[in-house]
């Protein structure tokens, strides 16, 4: 069974600064995808970024980028130039390519302060 | 393209009753998955439907069931409601040959 762990329940950052959220996972699979989802107070779950395990290059989406370390089973999210609208719960998630079940971490509540 | 829609958005039920939640996926998406989100257990997978067939099931009791129609719309049913079933129920859809799941706004179920 796969597990996903987010060891930071809460984090805060000043507007315009950079913050990194941590995620580790455990799997015996070699082919899988990793995601970061954002859930603002509206509770709508929004896909932020994805990473295919077979790709060595780290994914980037505008101000969001990941540091994917496959051997260490680590998948951190870096948010640059933080904005007030980035305030949300962030979930790291895993899915193996042979299935469709998303396994989520516990979440990190990020607060961006003005 | 319209996103995933879920109805109703909020629901209050009494213990012992049953409830049906509905999810319409993004147009063209044939896979629909359901998740339960609670403060204590986090996000847990309930089941996935693809082309009207249940393809995958999480570790939930038989009181939780679902189905999918030919237009890919899905319903989830919970019978004999318990207080612990109070949760946000999220559905997500994905396209063929894609692993990205797109979520609806959720249905907040409160059992009293």
Average pLDDT, chain A: 95
Instruction: Return residues 19-38 of B near A (CB < 8 Å).
Output: 31, 33, 35
Whole-number pLDDT of residue B98: 85
Going by DSSP bridges, is the β-strand pair A103-104/B87-94 parallel, antiparallel, or unpaired? unpaired
> Which two three-digit tokens encode residue B100?
């990205």
- Residue segments in chain B with a per-residue pLDDT below the cut of 70: 1
Instruction: Return residues 41-60 of A near B (CB < 8 Å).
Output: 42-47, 50
Whole-number pLDDT of residue A98: 76
Inter-chain touch B33–A104, beta carbons under 8 Å: no
Whole-number pLDDT of residue B44: 96
pLDDT band, very low/low/confident/very high, at A41 (cuts 50, 70, 90): very high
Burial per residue of B3-33, b for 16 or more beta-carbon CB atoms within 10 angstroms, e otherwise = ebebeeeeeebeeeeebebbbbbbeebbbbb
Distance from CA of A47 to the nearest CA of B (A): 7
Neighbours of A80 (CB within 10 A): 14
Whole-number pLDDT of residue A111: 98
Closest chain A residue to the Cα of B50, Cα to Cα: A100
Give the 3-state secondary structure of residue A83: coil
Q: Tell me: cis bond preceding B8? Omega within 30 of 0 counts.
A: yes
> Which two three-digit tokens encode residue B14?
């009494």
pLDDT band, very low/low/confident/very high, at A100 (cuts 50, 70, 90): confident
Cα A111 to Cα A25, A50, A64, A86, distances in angstroms: 24, 22, 16, 8
Whole-number pLDDT of residue A104: 97
- Please say whether the beta carbons of A16 and B78 come within 8 A: no
Which residue, among A33, A55, A100, would best test binding to B if mutated, counting the most B CBs under 10 Å from its CB?
A100
pLDDT band, very low/low/confident/very high, at A56 (cuts 50, 70, 90): confident
Whole-number pLDDT of residue A84: 97
- Closest by CA to A49, choosing from A32, A40, A58, A37, is A37
pLDDT band, very low/low/confident/very high, at A99 (cuts 50, 70, 90): confident
Q: Residue A79: phi, psi to the nearest 5?
A: -115, 120
Whole-number pLDDT of residue A2: 85
């Amino acid at each position: 069974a796969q597990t996903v762990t987010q060891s930071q329940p809460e984090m805060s950052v000043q507007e315009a600064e950079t913050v990194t959220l941590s995620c580790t996972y455990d799997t015996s699979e070699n082919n899988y995808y990793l995601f970061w989802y954002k859930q603002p107070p509206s509770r709508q779950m929004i896909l932020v970024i994805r990473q295919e395990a077979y790709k060595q290059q780290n994914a980037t989406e505008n101000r969001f980028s990941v540091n994917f370390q496959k051997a260490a089973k680590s998948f951190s999210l870096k948010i640059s130039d933080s904005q007030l609208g980035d305030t949300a719960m962030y979930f790291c998630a895993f899915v193996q390519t042979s299935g469709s079940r998303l396994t989520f971490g516990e979440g990190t509540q990020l607060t961006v302060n003005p | 393209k319209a996103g995933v829609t879920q109805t109703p958005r909020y629901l209050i039920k009494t213990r012992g009753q049953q409830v049906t939640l509905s999810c319409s996926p993004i147009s063209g998406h044939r896979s629909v998955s359901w998740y339960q989100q609670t403060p204590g257990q986090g996000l847990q997978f309930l089941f996935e439907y693809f082309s009207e067939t249940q393809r995958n099931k999480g570790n939930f009791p038989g009181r939780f069931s679902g189905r999918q129609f030919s237009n890919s719309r899905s319903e989830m049913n919970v019978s004999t409601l318990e207080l612990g079933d109070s949760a946000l129920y999220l559905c997500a859809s994905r396209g063929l040959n894609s692993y990205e799941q797109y979520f609806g706004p959720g249905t907040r179920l409160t059992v009293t």
